[in-house]
Structures are given as structure tokens and as C-alpha cells.
Structure 1
Amino acid sequence: MKLSEIKQHLKELDKIAFQLPNGKLVPSHFHITEVGKITKDFIDCGGKVRSENVINFQLWEENDYDHRLHPEKLIHIIELSEKIFKFDDLEIEVEYQGKETIGKYNLGFDGKNFLLTSKVTACLALEACGIPPVKPRIKMSDIQNSCCDPSSGCC
């Protein structure tokens, strides 16, 4: 989800809720302790220089059960951040403290809740690593008019 999208969704909500990939909700007394831009400059395993930029939200919850972040307050925090840091309309990444370490999530929306969706790693230089592309699996029973005659010796 891009920054412009979350602002639009927030305008339509009465309350904010974040849902973890396991379906549980982040406790409603969460704080957003940071809104910022993260730039990652790196070289992939194929030697190509790359750069990624994301807007980062950090969610935090503690024993402050009376605290509730309302949509208009979060819009204000986002707009203040945009003004100070001159954000582009980038994808949002969310950090949230798990049981053992901080988890990083992509952000979605289901019409009611913001969805913290799992991120995955991938090799960005498959050809340089010698990893063959994944070939599609085809059932032989799905091939009806094969140009290869079984008696031709080609298969």
C-alpha cells in the first residue's frame, strides 16, 4: 500500500485496527512511534547496485490501555512527516514487535482493518547465481494434440 492510499482509507474510518498475518489484531492501545523513510542501498549477489525506499511505520504497544490512536491523528502525523521529509508516494512497510524480534510487514487493507502481510526474501540475481528458472509443471494428460508421435523416437 502506498502512502496516498493509507491516507484515503484513514479518512473513511472511525477507528484504526491492524491485523497480523495470523488473524489476531494488534491491541487497540498501540502507538505509532515512528513515521519515516528508510533507504536501503545494496549490491545483490550478482553484483548489481540497487536502492530501495519505503515509508516506515513502527507500531508499539505497552500497558497504556487508555491510549487510542484515531484516524485523524495519524493523518496529521503522516502529513507532518510529508512536509518535513518531502516523502514521495512510496510503499509502506510496518515494523511490529513480535515475541522474539521485530517483524517487518507489507501493508494491505480489507475495508475495515489494515492488514500486516508477510514479507519474503528472494534472490534478485537468479541468472548470476546459476539458479534455473522454475519450469511450469504440465500433466501429460492435459496434452491432447501433441506434435510428437510416440513412435517417432522423440520422447
Structure 2
Amino acid sequence: MKISEMKASLAGVEAVNFRLPDGSYLPAHFHVTEVGLVNKHFIDCGGVERRETAANFQLWEAGDYDHRLAPRKFLHILALSEKILGSEDLDIEVEYQQQTIGKFGLMFDGTDFVLTPRQTACLAQDACGIPSHQLALPQLQVAGCAPGGGCC
């Protein structure tokens, strides 16, 4: 999700709800503790230099159970962050504390903001030395069960 999409989505909702990939919701009393600009300058295993830039939202919860972040207040936070983020329509990544800090993508389903899982990947598959057939996830084998057999 891009910043412009988030702003448009916030303008059309009465409450700001974030849903985790497992379907559970962040507590309604969450806070947006940071909005930041993240620049990543790196080299992949194939020797290619790369750059990524994203807007980062850090979500957090405290014991202030009466706190609610209204869509208008979130829009105000985004307006304040423009001095850091600039005017570029950046992709958004979200950090949320679980057992460790989770990093998520973001989408809007028409009602809720949904934190989407992010995965690592090899960006230089042709140079990393792993045959492409080994990069696919292995098939689970269940005794006596065959694809199309109706048992799985």
C-alpha cells in the first residue's frame, strides 16, 4: 500500500482497525509511535547494488485502554510526517511488537487495514548457486495419499 492509498482509505472509514495475518485484530487502543523514512542500501549475493525506500509505521499498544486513534488524527500524523517522508508516494511497511518486532506489508480490504506477511527471497537466484527446482517449497507426503485422491 502506498501513502496516497492510506490517506484515501482513512478518509472513508469511521474507525482505524488493523488486522494481523492470522485474522486477529490489534487492540483498539494501539498507538502509531513512529512514522519514519527507511532507506536500505545493500548488495545482493550476486553482487548487484540495490536501494529500497519505504515509509515505516511503528504500531504499539500500552495500558491506556480508553485511547482510540481516529482516522482524522491519523491523517494529521501523516501530514506531520511529510517533513520527513517528503512528497514521494512511498510504499508502507509496518512494524508491530509480538514475540519479536514483526515487519509487515499493508493493504486495505474496504473496512480494515490488513498487515500482510513479508518473506525473504534471493534476489540473485541465477548467481547464488541453488538450482531453481530447490527454491520451491517441498511437497508434503502423506502415507497413502496421492494428489487428487481426495484425502488431503
Interval of TM-score (by shorter of Structure 1 and Structure 2): 0.7 to 0.9
CA contact (8 A) 1:37 1:87 kept: no
Shift of 1:62: 1.0
Amino acid at match of 1:11: A
Which structure has the larger Rg?
Answer: 1
Match of 2:61 in 1: 61
Q: For residues 44-72 of structure 1, give each alpha carbon's deviation from its aligned partner in whole angstroms, at most 9, with x where no partner exists.
A: 01111111111000000011001100000
Counting only pairs closer than 5 Å after superposition, residues 96-111 of structure 1 correspond to structure 2 as 96-98=96-98, 100-111=99-110
CA contact (8 A) 2:104 2:115 kept: yes
Counting only pairs closer than 5 Å after superposition, residues 84-99 of structure 1 correspond to structure 2 as 84-98=84-98
Shift of 1:76: 0.8
Q: Distance in 2 between matches of 1:38 and 1:84?
A: 10
> Cα–Cα, structure 1 residues 84 and 127, in superposed 2: closer, same or farther, change >3 Å?
closer
Q: For the aligned residues, what is the CA RMSD? A: 1.6
Match of 1:6 in 2: 6
Q: Structure 2: which 5+ runs fail to align?
A: 135-152
CA contact (8 A) 1:14 1:70 kept: yes
Match of 1:73 in 2: 73
Q: Structure 1: which 5+ runs fail to align?
A: 136-155
Q: Distance in 2 between matches of 1:97 and 1:85?
A: 23
Amino acid at match of 1:105: F
CA contact (8 A) 1:18 1:26 kept: yes
Amino acid at match of 1:97: Q
CA contact (8 A) 1:81 1:87 kept: no
SS at match of 1:10: helix
Match of 2:25 in 1: 25
State the identity as a percent: 57
Dislocated runs of 4+, deviation >4 Å: none
CA contact (8 A) 2:55 2:85 kept: no
SS at match of 2:7: helix
Shift of 1:84: 4.5
Amino acid at match of 1:62: A
SS at match of 2:9: helix
Shift of 1:82: 1.1
Q: Distance in 2 between matches of 1:123 and 1:85?
A: 28
Amino acid at match of 1:17: N
Match of 2:139 in 1: none
Please give the TM-score of this superposition, normalised by the length of structure 1: 0.83
SS at match of 1:124: coil
Shift of 1:133: 3.4
